[in-house]
Amino acid sequence: MFRQIAAQLPPYPVLDKDKNTKTITVTQVIKGNELIAKSLLAGILLEDIKDKEGNKINPKTTYHITSSQTVMVNHFEELKKCKVPGSKEETLAAVKAYVAKVMEYHNYTNQTPMEPPELPE
């Protein structure tokens, strides 16, 4: 049951104790030709594709690209925490509360509201 619900939920960031989103730094190792291909797919002109020193990207060189990414909640793991042994009603109430919290965040941060997933009875 939890997997089906988790699969339908929108992304939800992990928040620290100050209610700020947690981020991690990710370093990607990517070949120059793949970097050029991805840049062209993103609509960047070939003459605009340069490394951080301003040199043209060499297709044979390997580049290390560092970016910051928001850490997202694993909904399945969070939903498993909602399980109350021996009480189906309390489990369902906890699941509904969690889904409501995620949907409220999604509808607050996005222009297109989303319908919450259907919960099994």
pTM given for the model: 0.61
Q: How far apart are CA 1 and CA 83, in angstroms?
A: 11
Query: Which of the two residues, 120 and 97, has the higher pLDDT score?
Result: 97
Q: What does residue 117 show for φ and ψ, rounded to 5 degrees?
A: -65, 155
Identify which of 113, 91, 109 has the alpha carbon closest to the alpha carbon of residue 5. Answer: 91
Q: How many domains is the chain partitioned into structurally?
A: 2
Pair 65, 108 in one domain: no
Give residue 105's domain range: 1-11+74-121
Pair 54, 39 in one domain: yes
DSSP 3-state of 55: coil
Q: How far apart are CA 71 and CA 10, in angstroms?
A: 14
Pair 94, 114 in one domain: yes
Greatest pairwise CA separation for the chain in angstroms? 64
Q: Give residue 77's pLDDT.
A: 92
